[in-house]
Amino acid sequence: MSQIKFTKDHEWIRVEGDTGVVGITDYAQHALGDIVFVELPEVGREITQGNEAAVVESVKAASEVYAPVDGEVTGFNEALVDEPAQVNADAEGSGWFFKVRIANPAQLDGLMDKAAYQTYLEGLA
């Protein structure tokens, strides 16, 4: 069974075995507005938790997407290159960014589950 975890920087990671699928949350896409460009990490790149892994650009601003965990990038969502609007349409589904082989599963424990993230968002309001 897959589990989804969330970061304070509004990324989500869906854990599927030793792989994590990463994207930005619906809250993040809403805050950014219309997404016009997504820069994705190349396959094989080593990413570290909390450091920049991708870039998302909206009509308002360009923002970094931080790696939720350490690991190696194993794939990215090619559909976003031509259709960045996918992120607005379905941020937590077909608008995923990249896949990572999770190096240190213990890092997942430090992330929030859906309920905790909801509470976190209410705190931001």
Partner 1 sequence: MTSATTISGHQGLQMDEPLIFELDSPGSSGVDLPPPPKVKSRLGAVAARNGVGLPGLSEPEVVRHYTRLSQKNYAIDSGFYPLGSCTMKHNPRLNEKMARLPGFADVHPLQPVSTVQGALELIDTLAGWLKTLTGMKAVALSPAAGAHGEMCGMMAIAAAHEHRGGPARKRVLVPESAHGTNPATAAALGMTVEAIPATEDGRIDLPAFKAKLGFDVAAVMLTNPNTCGLFEREVKALADAVHEAGAFLYCDGANFNAIIGRVRVADLGVDAMHINLHKTFSTPHGGGGPGSGPVVFSEALAPFIPLPAIIHDDDGYRLIETQDDDDGTALAFGRMKAFHGQMGVFVRALAYSLSHGADGLYQASADAVLSANYILAKLKDTFNAPFEGPCMHEALFDDKSLKGTGVSTLDIAKALIDEGFHPMTVYFPLVVHGAMLIEPTESESKRSIDQFIATMKGLAERAKTDAASFHAAPTLAPRRRLDETAAARKPILKWKK
Kindly state the tokens that stand for 118.
């909801």
Q: Is 41 in the site for partner 1 (CB under 8 A)?
A: no
Considering the complex, what minimum distance in angstroms separates the CB of residue 60 from partner 1? 4
Q: Is 81 in the site for partner 1 (CB under 8 A)?
A: no
Q: Which stretch binds partner 1 (CB under 8 A): 10-18, 30-38, 70-78, 100-108?
A: 30-38
Q: Is 123 in the site for partner 1 (CB under 8 A)?
A: no
Residues whose CB falls within 8 Å of the CB of residue 21, separated by 6 or more in sequence, listed in order: 13, 14, 96, 98, 99
Q: Is 7 in the site for partner 1 (CB under 8 A)?
A: no
Residue whose token pair is 């989804």: 4
Q: Is 8 in the site for partner 1 (CB under 8 A)?
A: no
Q: Is 85 in the site for partner 1 (CB under 8 A)?
A: yes
| Dist CA 52 CA 64 (whole Å) | 6
Q: Is 89 in the site for partner 1 (CB under 8 A)?
A: no
Residues whose CB falls within 8 Å of the CB of residue 1, separated by 6 or more in sequence, listed in order: none
| Dist CA 13 CA 11 (whole Å) | 7
For binding to partner 1 (CB under 8 A), which residues are involved? 34, 36-37, 57, 59-61, 63, 84-85
